[in-house]
Amino acid sequence: MKEVKISDLIGTPNAILHKFGLQVFETVSQHISQNEQVTLSFEGLRNITSGFCNASIGNLYSNFKEIAHQLKLVGLENKPIWKEKVQDAIDLATNPQKVKNQNEAISELFT
């Protein structure tokens, strides 16, 4: 089992940039491509954004069909808002209809 600690990888406790998410995606992808199990640790982070989650977790779910069996996320305990962001990223990658429904609700405001 390979462990990737996000804060060590990106060099900051603030995982707020898209490019940080792509860094995580590229690193984890290499291990997943070699059929390794990966533990991705959110420990040591102070902030995450949906942009970061989409570029990292969402991107992994978009590119690897079996990712759920190979990737374990840790450090999200007692962080319901972060869990929600991660789940949203997974939904965005795997369930576009849910996102479409949300967007249509916003569109109705402008009509």
Partner 1 sequence: MPEYTLRANNGAIHTDIYGYLSLLNFYNYARTVRNCWITLNLDGINFIDANLTALLLAMINSLEKTNKLRVFTDFKSLKGDLHILFRNGFISHIGKKEFEFKPYDSRDTTVPLKYFNCNDADGFVSYIENNLIIQRGLVKVKFTDKETVKTSYFEIFDNVGIHANTTEPIYMCGQYFPKLQELKVTLVDLGEGFLTKITEFTKDSDKITQPADAIRWAINGGSTKKDAKGGTGLKKIFWFCKKSGGSIHIITDGCYWNFTNNGLSTQRLSNPFVGTTIHLIFRYLSI
| The binder of partner 1 chosen from 21, 45, 67, 76 (CB under 8 A) | 21
**Residue 110 is a binding residue for partner 1 (CB under 8 A):** yes
**Residue 108 is a binding residue for partner 1 (CB under 8 A):** no
SS3 content of the chain, % helix, strand, coil (to 5): 60, 15, 25
Q: How many residues are there in the chain? A: 111
- CA dist list (Å): 58 to 61, 64, 97, 109: 5, 10, 15, 28
Residues that bind partner 1 (CB under 8 A): 12, 14, 16-22, 25, 46-52, 54-55, 58-59, 62, 81, 88-89, 92-93, 99, 102-103, 106-107, 109-110
